[in-house]
């Protein structure tokens, strides 16, 4: 039953952070709050944080400062800061000193316990609870909002890879896989309430189920999700190259609803840098995985993540990364300058790269990828693609927008009645990031 109070939830970072924010929102709904996007009239503001990069932390700190001003205008406002940034070793005390106006602090391992913290905060108590490790395996969490066309579904938590630059294993814990029956149950519920596309989430989905006996791996899970009636599309993220098996690629190739899009972070094209990053594969192995995908799925699109300016990266190392981009021909690349994360091995490595060098390399990298992305999309002109109609275009509400199975954004004219359905669209224009098309008439 609603209590007349409004909650605004803000998420920073990856899709897992967004899914956690949905969980927090649903917990507050169960407590009687109504979801809102108006900060000025909110009774509760939840910020689910990210700490992967310094730039994200700076934006979050800025938002926490803005909320202080909001609370000065409305002393009854409750503020909750949750997630990865709070979970970092030693971070809680620093954040509390910096932001005494915050009412609730919660880490990544106890978000399911948020209702208890909220009740305590409503009694005018400041609460902070950050478990150092998960106490329970969260099999069932509050489900995503009903009626959404797309939903994120956690299939596992944590990470065991310990890349030398990454804070995630330190704030998300070790890998734990959800029971496949629980995952299937959740997706069936979502589909029954209107969902037609799911993205399966994990820090490394390719290692899903490694603790199960008898053997049941990610390819097995994909095969079973592919059988769910009324579900139209299945995506997943993130896929670690070292665990991308032939079985998984073959399962995607055989699947009916499994999208032919592989997000396969390379991070660097240099074997020397990959070793320093503790990525556990070589550029040659990575290219062998790409070739396997191309052999079985010539139409598949590949996207990636790349870090420039990692400690010790020479000009030759950087050139090898550029060569990798030219060789693979990614449809999209998410590119970043290396950012020190306290508590990771890379933060104390020698040969840190000067900021001006990192900026120069990033600009050059982005220039190369923009051209590669444009060429990738230009070769789509004149071809017909299956598109899931998502809704009005964000840049032109008079037109519709949707995505191909390869995760390409397409804008086209059509009747809003077709939102949530699959249509065939012929591509007529291509930019670096967006396609324009016409619906094929039968």
Residue 111 has what pLDDT? Answer: 83
CATH class of the domain whose range is 384-439:
mainly beta
**Using 50, 70 and 90 to split pLDDT, how confident is the model at 90?**
confident
**Could you read off the pLDDT of 328-371 as tens digits, one per residue?**
999 999 999 999 988 899 999 999 999 999 999 999 999 999 99
Neighbour-count burial for 173-210, b at 16+ CB within 10 Å, e otherwise: bebbbbebeebbebbbebbeeebbbbbbbbbbbbbbbb
**Using 50, 70 and 90 to split pLDDT, how confident is the model at 3?**
confident
Domain boundaries along the sequence of the chain: 6-129, 143-259, 296-379, 384-439
Q: Tell me, which fold does domain 143-259 have in CATH? A: Transcription Regulator spoIIAA (3.30.750)
Tokens of 6: 């409004």
Let me know if the fold of 143-259 is the same as that of 384-439: no
Pick the CATH number of 296-379 from 3.40.630.30, 3.30.750.200, 1.20.1090.10, 3.40.50.150: 3.30.750.200
Tokens of 44: 């509760």
Question: Alpha carbon of 153 to those of 9, 22, 114, 242, 364: distances in Å?
Answer: 18, 11, 19, 23, 36
Residue 130 has what pLDDT? Answer: 87
CATH class of the domain whose range is 6-129:
alpha beta
Residue 137 has what pLDDT? Answer: 57
76 alpha carbon, distance to own chain's centre: 33
- What is the Cα–Cα distance from 58 to 204, expressed in whole angstroms? 26
Are 78 and 125 in contact by the 8 Å Cβ rule? The answer is no
pTM given for the model: 0.89
**Could you read off the pLDDT of 274-315 as tens digits, one per residue?**
999 999 999 999 999 999 999 999 999 999 999 999 999 999
């Amino acid at each position: 039953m609603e209590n007349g109070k409004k909650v605004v939830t803000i998420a920073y970072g990856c899709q897992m952070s967004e899914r956690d924010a949905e969980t927090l929102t649903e917990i507050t709904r169960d407590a009687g709050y109504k979801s809102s996007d108006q900060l000025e009239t909110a009774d509760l503001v939840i910020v689910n944080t990210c700490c992967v990069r310094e730039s994200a932390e700076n934006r979050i700190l800025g938002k926490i400062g803005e909320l202080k001003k909001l609370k000065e205008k409305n002393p009854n406002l409750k503020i909750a800061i949750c997630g990865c940034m709070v979970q970092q070793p030693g971070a809680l005390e620093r954040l509390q000193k910096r932001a005494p106006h915050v009412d609730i602090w919660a880490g990544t391992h106890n978000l399911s316990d948020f209702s208890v913290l909220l009740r305590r905060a409503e009694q005018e108590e400041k609460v902070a609870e950050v478990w150092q490790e998960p106490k329970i395996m969260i099999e069932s969490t509050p489900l995503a909002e009903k009626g959404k066309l797309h939903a994120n579904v956690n299939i596992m938590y944590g990470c065991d890879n310990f890349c030398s630059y990454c804070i995630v294993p330190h704030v998300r814990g070790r890998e734990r896989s959800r029971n496949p029956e629980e995952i299937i149950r959740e997706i069936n519920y979502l589909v029954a309430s209107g969902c037609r596309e799911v993205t399966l989430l994990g820090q490394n989905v390719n290692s899903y189920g490694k603790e199960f006996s008898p053997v049941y791996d990610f390819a097995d899970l994909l095969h079973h999700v592919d059988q769910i009636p009324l579900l139209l599309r299945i995506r997943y993220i993130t896929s670690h190259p070292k665990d991308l098996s032939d079985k998984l690629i073959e399962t995607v190739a055989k699947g009916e609803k499994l999208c032919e899009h592989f997000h396969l972070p390379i991070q660097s094209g240099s074997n020397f840098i990959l070793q320093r990053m503790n990525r556990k594969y070589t550029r040659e192995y990575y290219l062998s995985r790409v070739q396997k995908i191309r052999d079985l799925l010539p139409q598949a699109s590949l996207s990636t993540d790349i870090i420039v300016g990692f400690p010790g990266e020479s000009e030759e190392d950087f050139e090898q990364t550029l060569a990798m981009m030219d060789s693979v021909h990614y449809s999209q690349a998410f590119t970043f300058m290396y950012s020190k994360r306290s508590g990771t091995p890379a933060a104390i490595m020698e040969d840190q790269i000067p900021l001006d060098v990192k900026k120069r390399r990033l600009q050059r990298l982005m220039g190369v990828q923009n051209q590669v992305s444009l060429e990738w999309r230009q070769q789509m002109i004149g071809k017909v693609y299956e598109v899931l109609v998502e809704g009005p275009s964000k840049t032109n509400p008079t037109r519709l927008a949707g995505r191909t199975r390869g995760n390409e954004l397409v804008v086209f004219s059509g009747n809003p009645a077709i939102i949530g359905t699959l249509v065939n669209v012929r591509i007529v224009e291509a930019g670096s990031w967006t396609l324009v098309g016409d619906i094929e008439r039968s």
